[in-house]
């Protein structure tokens, strides 16, 4: 049985009690807000971006099982599902007026790292520094090369130096790979070097374009050691942001020369 009590409030307490009861009432019933309307430029841009995916689900549902599997296999070293990759690709293509839908591929993912040396006027190179690997070391990636002017030097190469100690001496195991001249469509590169079980305290992996007028696109980059995959990168980033890389510090991270800036380096959408 409900117990009802009646009490007299001292003068001046009624106003305070009304405020307390009003607060609890707002926790139960909806309240109209006069702020946070979607009229700011950022809010309008966010709402516009959402419209780019209109119709994506309809197209996805029309794909057969094999096509959906192709999108899943094309996700590279990301944690996306096949539909996530398709949706990101669809949104970009619709926003930029490209044909729809795109085509999934395992050679390159949605975005990739572009290296360029316009007019062969610079030594353009990037180094990835890693430490504490156990041999053998495997370097694996896909690349595409567009040549604008032939060169008599190294067209495009990769040099891997793995350092270890032996008898108090600092020694290295080195491996060099060089791309063929001319244009190269998406191709796979994979090589293994170093001695099994050997502890390497520092690995320097250098990609270089020296005295050569060309653009090189790199994607699905992987470095493995005895324990398995050590470093993976598909150079992904969210719309409106830049690729986030770990800058070189204390023998780890990426270093770019002349700098990570257009026209030398750029992470951009790779149309298939």
pLDDT for res 148: 94
pLDDT for res 51: 62
Residues carrying CATH 2.60.120, the chain: 111-269
Is CATH 2.40.160 correct for 111-269? no
Cα–Cα distance between 124 and 103 in angstroms, integer?
31
pLDDT for res 44: 72
> Of 128, 142, 149, 166, whose CA–CA distance to 221 is shortest?
142
What mean pLDDT is predicted for residues 33-55? 66
Return the half-sphere exposure (C-beta side, CA atoms, 13 A cut-off) of residue 106: 6
Cα–Cα distance between 179 and 33 in angstroms, integer?
62
pLDDT for res 15: 81
- Give pLDDT tens digits for 212-221: 999 999 999 9
- Give pLDDT tens digits for 232-261: 998 988 767 788 888 888 889 999 999 999
pLDDT for res 39: 67
Cα–Cα distance between 178 and 155 in angstroms, integer?
7
- Strands 137-149, 169-178: pairing kind: unpaired
CA-derived radius of gyration, the chain: 28
- Give pLDDT tens digits for 158-185: 999 999 998 888 899 999 999 999 999 9
Count other C-beta atoms under 10 Å from residue 55's C-beta: 12
Cα–Cα distance between 223 and 133 in angstroms, integer?
10
pLDDT for res 205: 96
pLDDT for res 5: 64
Is pLDDT above 60 for 31? no
């Amino acid at each position: 049985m409900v117990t009802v009590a009646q009490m007299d409030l001292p003068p001046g307490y009624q106003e305070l009690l009304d405020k307390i009861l009003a607060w609890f009432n707002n926790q139960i019933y909806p309240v109209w807000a006069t702020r946070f309307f979607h009229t700011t430029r950022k809010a309008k841009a966010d709402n516009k971006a959402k419209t780019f995916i209109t119709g994506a689900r309809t197209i996805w549902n029309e794909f057969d099982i094999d096509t959906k599997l192709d999108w899943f296999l094309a996700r590279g070293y990301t944690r996306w599902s096949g539909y996530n990759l398709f949706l990101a690709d669809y949104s970009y293509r619709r926003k930029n007026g490209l044909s729809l839908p795109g085509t999934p591929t395992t050679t390159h993912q949605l975005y990739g790292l572009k290296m360029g040396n316009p007019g062969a006027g610079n030594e353009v190179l990037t180094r990835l520094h890693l430490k504490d690997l156990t041999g053998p070391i495997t370097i694996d990636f896909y690349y595409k090369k567009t040549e604008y002017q032939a060169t008599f030097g190294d067209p495009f190469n990769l040099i891997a130096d793995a350092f270890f100690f032996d008898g108090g001496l600092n020694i290295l195991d080195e491996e060099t790979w060089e791309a063929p001249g001319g244009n190269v469509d998406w191709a796979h590169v994979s090589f293994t070097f170093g001695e099994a079980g050997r502890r390497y305290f520092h690995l320097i992996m250098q990609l270089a374009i020296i005295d050569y007028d060309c653009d090189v696109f790199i994607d699905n980059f992987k470095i493995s050691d005895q324990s398995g995959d050590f470093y993976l990168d598909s150079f992904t980033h969210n719309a409106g942001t830049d690729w986030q890389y770990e800058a070189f510090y204390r023998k780890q991270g990426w270093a770019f020369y002349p700098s990570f800036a257009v026209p030398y380096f750029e992470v951009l959408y790779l149309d298939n």
